[in-house]
Copies of this chain bind each other. A is one copy, B any other.
Amino acid sequence: MDEKPCEATILAWSRLVRAGQAVFGSVEDDLKAAGLPPLGWYDVLLELRRAGGALRPVEIEDKLLIAQHNVSRLIDRLEKAGLAERRACKNDGRGQFVAITEKGLALLPTMWPVYRAAIQKHVGHQLEGAEAATLASLLGKLIAPAVAR
C-alpha cells in the first residue's frame, strides 16, 4: 500500500476539487440568477416531501449528512421563509418534527426546471455518450469509504 500518490492521482485530486467547486458554484449561480434559494434548501424540502411531509431533524441529519447544529440553523431559515415549520414530537419529548408547508411544496416544482437545466448545462453538455456513467461510477468509488467508515 503506497504512501505516496502517483501523478495521475494528484491530478485527479486537484481536478476533483476544482470541478466540484466550479460546477456546484455554477449551478448555484444559475439558481440565484433566477431568484431562487440555494441547493441546500431544495435538498431538505425534497426529503420532506419524499417522507410524506415531515421528518425529525435527526433524520434530515442522517439523510443529507449535515451536522446537527447546521440542520438546526437551516430549519431556522426555512421556517423564516415560510417554507417549513417546526412541530412538537408526541413520542419523544426531546425531539421535534419539521413539516413542509404549502409554500414549500409549491417551491419545489418552481426550482426543478432551473436546477435540471443547470445540471445539463454544466455537466451533461460537457460529456458524451457513456462518459457520464463512467464518471459517476468512478466518483462512487471515492464516496463509498466515507459511508462505510
- Is the Cβ of A135 less than 8 Å from the Cβ of B23? no
Cβ contact of A120, chosen from B9, B11, B23, B116, cutoff 8 A: B9
**Is there a chain B Cβ closer than 8 Å to A109's Cβ?**
no
Of residues 47 through 65 on chain A, the ones whose CB sits less than 8 Å from some CB of chain B are: none
Rounded to whole angstroms, the CA-CA distance of A146 and B16 in the bound complex is: 14
What range describes how many residues of A lie at the interface? 35 or more
Contacts of A5 in B (CB 8 A): 116, 119-120, 123-124
Copies in the complex: 2
CB 8 Å contact bits of A10-22 with B (1 = contact, 0 = none): 1111011111111
**Is there a chain B Cβ closer than 8 Å to A96's Cβ?**
no
Contacts of A6 in B (CB 8 A): 124, 132
Distance (whole angstroms) from the CB of A10 to the closest CB of chain B? 6
Contacts of A18 in B (CB 8 A): 139, 143
Binding site for B on A (CB under 8 A): 1-6, 8-13, 15-24, 26-27, 116-117, 119-120, 122-127, 130-136, 138-146
